Chains A and B, each alone.
Chain A
Amino acid sequence: MIASAKRLLDRWRGGGEHAVTVPPMDGALRPNEAIEEAPVLVEAAAPDNLATDGARLMFSSGASVLELFSSGARAATKPFAAFDSPVSALALGPGGSVAAGLERGGIALRGGRHDCLVMEQIGGRALSCVTALLFEGEDTLVVALGSQRNGPDRWRHDLLQRNASGSVWRVTLPGGQATCLADGLAWPCGLAAAPDGGLVVAESWRNRLVGLAPGRRPAPLLTDIPGYPGRLAPRAGDAGHWLAVFAPRSQLVEFVLRERDYRESMMREVDPCFWIAPALSAAQSFLEPMQVGGLKQLGVLKPWAPTRSYGLVIGLDAGHEPAVSFHSRASGQRHGVTSCVEFGGRLLATSKGGGVVVSLPLPQGGVR
């Protein structure tokens, strides 16, 4: 009763869960230009899904999976596989297996023991929105399904519809016996193994990381991330993870997310590229909403409109606390960092919005 009254009061005055607030980027998240200044390894159309098995490094570009050969600041690519639909998730497993989630639905495996295996269903559900994959040994695959209502390309729809229909599954290959590890997640989009044998899942629309362990409810590990968390990758030394944050939060978007009628009307009547919603890159059109104001701060005239795109990779320590971060700020181009991976003593990241794969130096002395 009191909780209900409090919720009503919060709703009326914009407090509690109805507060239109965004956590600050300070401390370990203090902005820098590291991603913007990083050397470009490869330019590609919408690069995404960087993945490694320790020896090979691959990423997706549209419907292709490319193998990346990196040597210092230079790199070359070689096509590994091509599919009939854009790749929405990628994982490299032991024994040479490569699993690719497809935007049209399904998971296709190439190489290794399960070469040419295709999965269309999981636990009786259609594999319609594969957002992340992770091999746990040669015969076990963990699959994150972002949503039951939208495909991977409709992620902005899913956010604005405020869905929480994602799930995480453990699948045994080749038979496809599946166990649901968690359901009701809000766009799970990153998977990583935890040192305790569990899983770490990036739950994008709730701006948090959760831990999954057998027989337990998802436990928050890191909450209130100032952006939408994407793919996770392990850090060398089994201590912590790298987290790609593919879009920033802003008070404007948070406000829109709390205004159901406005949101529905916007989605019905306005072209999606002009929605007040996060984006992977800054739009170039003058029709971009609200890019008209200015604000003088620290003697520099800055655009007033909150940015809808950003580039951010966060280094998390063993306790899942941010310890270091790399940014491409509002004024930059390398936005929409959807994936990252540590390889060969460097941190590589895909800027899907900027169309590049960049190579970042690891912080000296480790993350902490």
Chain B
Amino acid sequence: MTPIIEMRSVTKEYRGIPAVQDVSFTLAPGEVHALLGENGAGKSTLTKIMAGVVQPTAGEMLVDGKPTAYATPAEALRDGIVMVFQENSLVPSMTVAQNLYLGEEKFFNRLRGLYIAAQQFLQSLNFNVDPWATVATLGAAKKQMVEIARAVRQNAKVIIFDEPTASLTPEEKHHFFALIRRLKARGVSIVFISHALEEALQISDRITILRDGQHVVTDDASSFDRDRIIRAMVGRSLSEELYKRDGAGPRPAGRRVLSVQNLSMGRVVRNNSFTIYSGQITGVFGLIGSGRTETAKIVSGVLKRDFFHGGEVRLGDRPVRYRVPRAAVLDGICYVTEDRKLEGFFETMSIAENLQMGELSSAQSGGFVLRMADMRALAAEWTRKLNIRAVDADPRVIELSGGNQQKVVIAKSLVQKPRVVIFDEPTRGVDVGAIAEIHQLINALADDGLAVIVISSYLPEILNLSDRILVSQRGRIVEEFSPEQATEEKIMYAAVH
């Protein structure tokens, strides 16, 4: 059978440095093909070549057996190749329905019909998204759903998903996989990039693994297991360090650092109370919409609690109420966002400039901008500390891979010398190698006596990292587990019931 896409010895270089080197790849009709690798392995570059976003430096691509070179994504779209990006490409000021039908508007549009069609279409995909909602008001998961729905609507022959499930709940993932199976049954080919290895093993027919821009292996999914994938991805087995606690046991609680009492914000955070101690990692698990992120944002001054009887946040023994994040930073509270592209960094600025931005809001800066040499020294220090890998000395953050971008976001917070650090989904969209490094970093912070909060939807991460586990449901903490007591089933039960 002729592959629908065939790539032969494709190379893509940026400023002479290869992001993808001599990679060959085939995609059969009706196949689900998982593309795995660490951040910076070249997965996104390879798929961007397929979708016409970037052009290869060398090599050849054949579509339906014909040599093809796309200059723009529109050309790829005409051939039925659609890419769903990790960072969504929706228009935030338009409604969901308008985004779904963007580019297909008629001279006269019947809005009511448009919305009804959009609602029916979303329901057919089992996506619980309101077509009347403005995209800017949606959370990351729902935006991702709209993005997927838009790709499916375009009747593509090939759909490339870049981390499609990173922000979906378990139930939404279940629906998403059912959708992939339906698309596959219709003969649609799927390229599936994911860092969740279980998902790749579960859904894909074949798996291709890249490392450092080079092809490592392509084989049937049934011939892989988790350990073989990790070995191929990183050249060593990381299972132990990623998903097993060391024998040390949980850290004892230090002093009470933060006490959140009866915090309320609309219907999202409802009478929420918990305490955070120094020298400990407090894991917060909850489904999307359970109010974890919003609570963290209130604590760190990004969002405001209810004006009347909104509860209390006590830092040590002092009640605090921040109007802007800088006030929280000055008090030593840092929030590492879950949406790094939108809130985490200035993508067109360099690492040094981003770190300078973090440093500028901290107490030690005194409001003065650093000299260029100091700024570069700061960047060099944190690049070394966090092992940020980049093609040159001080690249723009947009040029970094997801894992390295995440490290920049973390570094940007840590330069502020915090005493409470809130990590919101710290390893979302990050490869296994970087996950291990970020986990080590989080552990080191707690060992140094900082109060660390890790918000995560990924249960193995919560179980692996936390010294105590809080479960959030419908805007409040409903249960607390010690690591010895906690199991995935117990935590999930508390999060759902």
Which of A14, A15, A22, A223 contacts B273, CB < 8 Å?
A22
- Chain B 256-282 near chain A by CB (<8 Å), digits 1 or 0: 100111100000000001110100000
Which of A16, A28, A298, A299 contacts B253, CB < 8 Å?
A28
Given contacts A23-B273, A298-B478, contact A224 B259 (CB under 8 A): yes
Contacts of B307 in A (CB 8 A): 13
Structural contact, B277 and A27, CB atoms closer than 8 A = yes
Contacts of B497 in A (CB 8 A): 298-299
Residues of B in contact, count (CB < 8 Å): 32
In Å, the complex CA distance between A298 and B256 comes to 27
Structural contact, A22 and B261, CB atoms closer than 8 A = yes
Which of B252, B274, B309, B314 contacts A26, CB < 8 Å?
B274
Report the minimal beta-carbon distance from A34 to chain B, rounded to whole angstroms.
15
CB<8 Å pairs between A and B, sample of 12: A15-B312, A15-B319, A19-B312, A24-B274, A24-B477, A27-B253, A27-B275, A27-B480, A30-B480, A224-B314, A298-B497, A321-B253
Structural contact, B312 and A21, CB atoms closer than 8 A = yes
Instruction: Tell yes or no: A85 within 8 A of B by CB.
Output: no
Contacts of A26 in B (CB 8 A): 273-275, 470, 477, 480
Structural contact, A24 and B319, CB atoms closer than 8 A = no
Structural contact, B262 and A251, CB atoms closer than 8 A = yes
With CB as the reference atom, state the residue of chain B lying closest to A251: B262
- List A residues 289-345 near B (Cβ within 8 Å): 297-299, 319, 321, 323
Contacts of A21 in B (CB 8 A): 261-262, 273, 311-312
Structural contact, B309 and A14, CB atoms closer than 8 A = yes
Which of A30, A224, A299, A323 contacts B317, CB < 8 Å?
A224
Report the minimal beta-carbon distance from A213 to chain B, rounded to whole angstroms.
19
- List B residues 318-377 near A (Cβ within 8 Å): 319, 321
CB-CB nearest 9 A-B residue pairs: A24-B273, A21-B261, A14-B309, A21-B262, A19-B312, A21-B312, A299-B497, A13-B308, A223-B317
Which residues of B does A touch, CB under 8 Å? 252-256, 259-262, 273-275, 277, 307-312, 314, 317, 319, 321, 468, 470, 477-480, 493-494, 497
In Å, the complex CA distance between A297 and B495 comes to 11
In Å, the complex CA distance between A30 and B261 comes to 15
Which residues of A does B touch, CB under 8 Å? 13-17, 19-24, 26-28, 30, 220, 223-224, 251, 297-299, 319, 321, 323, 368
In Å, the complex CA distance between A106 and B262 comes to 42
Given contacts A13-B308, A14-B308, A19-B309, contact A24 B317 (CB under 8 A): no
Contacts of B253 in A (CB 8 A): 27-28, 321, 323
Contacts of B310 in A (CB 8 A): 13-15
Contacts of A321 in B (CB 8 A): 253-256
Structural contact, B478 and A22, CB atoms closer than 8 A = no
In Å, the complex CA distance between A27 and B468 comes to 8
Contacts of B259 in A (CB 8 A): 23-24, 224
Structural contact, B275 and A20, CB atoms closer than 8 A = no
Contacts of B260 in A (CB 8 A): 24
Q: A21-B311, A24-B274, A223-B317 are in contact. List 6 more A-B contacts (CB 8 A).
A: A13-B309, A19-B309, A22-B261, A26-B477, A27-B256, A368-B252
Which of B255, B261, B312, B470 contacts A319, CB < 8 Å?
B255
In Å, the complex CA distance between A82 and B307 comes to 57
Contacts of A323 in B (CB 8 A): 252-253
In Å, the complex CA distance between A20 and B468 comes to 27
Contacts of A297 in B (CB 8 A): 478
In Å, the complex CA distance between A14 and B479 comes to 27
In Å, the complex CA distance between A297 and B470 comes to 15
Structural contact, A22 and B262, CB atoms closer than 8 A = yes
Which of B314, B317, B479 contacts A220, CB < 8 Å?
B317
Contacts of A220 in B (CB 8 A): 317
With CB as the reference atom, state the residue of chain B lying closest to A299: B497
Given contacts A23-B273, A26-B274, contact A298 B470 (CB under 8 A): no
With CB as the reference atom, state the residue of chain B lying closest to A29: B275
Report the minimal beta-carbon distance from A10 to chain B, rounded to whole angstroms.
9
